[in-house]
Amino acid sequence: MVQSAVLGFPRIGAQRELKKVTEAYWSGKATVDELFQVGKELREKNWKLQKEAGVDIIPSNDFSFYDQVLDHSLLFNVIPDRYSKYNLPAIDTLFAMGRGLQRPATETSPAVDVTALEMVKWFDSNYHYVRPTFSKTVEFKLNSSKPVDEFLEAKALGIHTRPVLVGPVSYLYLGKADKDNLELEPITLLEKLLPVYAELLAKLKEAGADTVQIDEPVLVLDLPAEVQAAYKTAYEYLASETAPKLFLTTYFGDVRPNIASIKGLPVAGVHADFVRVPEQLDEVVAALSPSQILSVGIVNGRNIWKSNFAKAIDFVNSAIAKVGAERVIVATSSSLLHTPVTLASEKKIPAEIKDWFAFATEKVTEVVTIAKAVTDGTESIAEVLAANAKSISARETSSITNDAAVRERVAKITEDQARRKSPFGVRLAAQKKALGIPLFPTTTIGSFPQTKDIRIVRNKFTKGEITAEEYEKFIEKEIADVVKFQEEVGLDVLVHGEPERNDMVQYFGEKLNGFVFTTNGWVQSYGSRYVRPPIVVGDVSRPGPMTVKESKYAQSITKKPMKGMLTGPVTCLRWSFPRDDISAKLQAQQLALALRDEVQDLEAAGVYVIQVDEPAIREGLPLRAGAERDDYVNWAVESFRLATSGVEDSTQIHSHFCYSDLDPNHIKALDADVVSIEFSKKDDPKYIQEFSEYPNHIGLGLFDIHSPRVPAKDEFVGRIADILKVYPQENLWVNPDCGLKTRGWTETRASLQNMVDAAKEFRAKY
Ligand code: GLN
Ligand code: ZN
């Protein structure tokens, strides 16, 4: 019988239970017991759901209160001294490392003031993990029993699970050296780390685990030779009598370039992502020994589209033909963490379209269905298959997915449309004249705190409890407050604060043709921050202006330049669930044309600074160097330029990037007049060099907006002084890392005031 496997299930809960209790805990409104209780209930629910669906191999330890990679850092005692010195309870250390912690002394405990660890994109997804950070004093030891506890918890419910661990090579390679230890290459710590893995594996075996899913996703990256070689060392060490069987799991890409690292490893089987790279089947099969099992990742863990059963079954059958049914497992391509929990709560999506979707819960059933079809033959589920085929062909032929006018406009795009009128120097002179911006200009990235108030009123509006007019009044008042606030603090280029936006992509999606929305389709982005990605279902176009009213109003109430605020084409696409029936490039072009019209409308309305955010441009980069990556860079850059190049020289185009290690060359190619980059957590001084050749203007983010911590003025001064050692002062902007929407007003005011005061100090000097 061909078994079915799920590699991981979303932990946030169908009603965002995890977010609610975590945030309540942070604000002192829930106890630690309540927090743990909700965690326990969520795990139980997820396991039972999978069990009832008929999944044979169900994961455990896929749950996390913040991030699964951070859990491993706690587990292996990879806790820099600046956190451990406070002797906080483990759960608070976890949160301190994830999001920073600043709190005054109490009678029983000293004051705490510590920044968060760096957080970066998880491969090419919109999930972020907390980067393992290895300081000089790192001493690996087994510091918790989480994987064992969760295995036993499931066992007590009568559910035998396959615990999930991040494998040692990936864990190290995804980490970095701490600032006290910059010469360290984390992979050199492998031999010290392995005994701790072995100890953990032994405990899992004692608890009754027969197999462990060991995730080595870095196998889809271009790996240096010493990392490729580390696999043999690691797995020969770990495979032993005292360990459960190890199931080596890769996902999100192509393992072929590292296939030599896998060959001959003493593991029970290998999982690969055949949704992404079906072409790798032969080579993966060839790398297996006759006793090793092949886990066929065939149900897409990264999108919301229903599987095409006929195709999937064919593919699994081709794998069976190569290795035999007893050696094949049917699985999700990756963890289902990246898809919303269930379609069941979606009541508003038109039935015709809803029928094209499958979320995590539905995907679980798909895996079981495919496994059944290849075991018992397609006749056994003829009806299910017929319904699936009908739904697939309905989407292919639907009028929703095709708009001739949009296709035609894309076909007519010219090269000129993607070039500004003049080179940067000429534009800069025109902008200086038009905008009157001082040296060390201060600005923010766009959003200001989104208080409960705003959310309540927005909800009322969505539900029709208040009129559009009332809502508009409220938004105007918010904008006016934010403008006043910025003038008080003394910022130079203002923003309207984005109070009308629930989310930087959804907001635009709602105003464009071609998107649909979920009511509850949340996906974890990081920690307690979830996003609800819109879904691109058809060709995209702009029926009318999207942001002009708010920006125009904001500009009308201040003499300072107001920055219009848009989300770029690539980010709109990356942070949506894209279509899988036309290319990403074509979808980006459609979005770019819609945004181009918006940019021109803003300019016409008197908004002469326009920021087009592209924080997701990096995450879309194909994971390996080569033709596919070059092609991506080309169309990503072109679509940004297409969106932004329709303005006069005197209009200043900004862009913003966060969350990832960017390539300065890609940023340069966008030819924005000013870019702002998340930077405050890059503690290696060499990073300051990275953009030093950047020809246009630049703002390296000066404080972490994920944390409520307030940096003192001197901290800003020190930071700017460091940057000035490398950058010419006339190129520098002064800004935070990113938007302030998740922050509170108190820390926002304090941080920005210190930042502005620091900028003024420098301005006085030059
Ligand atoms: N303008 C957006 C904001 O400030 C940018 C958000 C982002 O880069 N993630 O919220
Ligand atoms: Zn950002």
pLDDT in tens, 336-347: 999 999 999 999
Question: How many whole angstroms separate alpha carbon 484 and alpha carbon 464?
Answer: 30
The mean per-residue pLDDT over the stretch 715-732 comes to 96
Q: Would you say residue 734 has pLDDT above 90?
A: yes
pLDDT for 682 equals 82
pLDDT for 659 equals 65
pLDDT averaged over every residue in the chain: 96
681 pLDDT tier (thresholds 50, 70, 90): confident
The mean per-residue pLDDT over the stretch 209-223 comes to 98
Beta strand residue intervals within 496-561, DSSP E = 513-516, 523-526, 529-531, 535-541
- Which residue ranges have their beta carbon within 6 Å of ligand 1? 445-447, 498, 504, 565, 613, 615, 656, 658, 738-739, 741
| Number of the ligand 1 atom closest to the C-alpha atom of 656 | 8
Question: How many whole angstroms separate alpha carbon 546 and alpha carbon 128?
Answer: 29
546 close to 370: Cβ distance less than 8 angstroms = no
Q: Would you say residue 303 has pLDDT above 90?
A: yes
695 pLDDT tier (thresholds 50, 70, 90): very high
514 pLDDT tier (thresholds 50, 70, 90): very high
Residue bearing the CA closest to ligand 1, atom 1: 446
The mean per-residue pLDDT over the stretch 726-741 comes to 96
DSSP string covering 50-112, please?
HHHHT-SBEEES---SS-HHHHHHHHTT---HHHHTT---HHHHHHHHHH-EEE---SSS--E
Q: Would you say residue 661 has pLDDT above 90?
A: no
Tally of CA atoms within 13 A in the half-sphere of 551 that contains its CB: 28
Candidate from 447, 525, 618, 678 with most ligand 1 atoms within 8 A of CB, to mutate? 447
685 pLDDT tier (thresholds 50, 70, 90): confident
Catalytic machinery residues = 706
For residue range 336-390, list pLDDT tens digits in order. 999 999 999 999 999 999 999 999 999 999 999 999 999 999 998 999 999 999 9
Question: How many whole angstroms separate alpha carbon 700 and alpha carbon 284?
Answer: 43
The mean per-residue pLDDT over the stretch 151-162 comes to 98
660 pLDDT tier (thresholds 50, 70, 90): low
For residue range 618-647, list pLDDT tens digits in order. 888 999 999 999 999 999 999 999 999 999
Place of tokens 């950047």: 694
For residue range 277-290, list pLDDT tens digits in order. 999 999 999 999 99
| Number of the ligand 1 atom closest to the C-alpha atom of 678 | 8
The mean per-residue pLDDT over the stretch 71-86 comes to 97
Mention every residue, 6+ apart, whose C-beta is less than 8 A from residue 414.
Answer: none
Q: Would you say residue 726 has pLDDT above 70?
A: yes
Strand partners, 177: 134
pLDDT for 399 equals 86
| Number of the ligand 1 atom closest to the C-alpha atom of 658 | 8
Residue bearing the CA closest to ligand 1, atom 8: 615
pLDDT for 332 equals 98
pLDDT for 51 equals 98
For residue range 36-56, list pLDDT tens digits in order. 999 999 999 999 999 999 999
Measured at the alpha carbon of residue 357, what is the angle toward residues 351 and 362, in degrees to the nearest 5? Answer: 110
Helix (H, G, I), strand (E, B) or coil at 405: helix
662 pLDDT tier (thresholds 50, 70, 90): confident
The mean per-residue pLDDT over the stretch 196-209 comes to 98
Q: What is the ipTM of this complex?
A: 0.99
Residue bearing the CA closest to ligand 1, atom 3: 739
pLDDT for 653 equals 98
Strand partners, 58: 161
Tell how far the Cα of 721 is from the centroid of ligand 1, in angstroms: 26
Candidate from 738, 742, 743 with most ligand 1 atoms within 8 A of CB, to mutate? 738
Q: Would you say residue 268 has pLDDT above 70?
A: yes
The mean per-residue pLDDT over the stretch 705-729 comes to 95
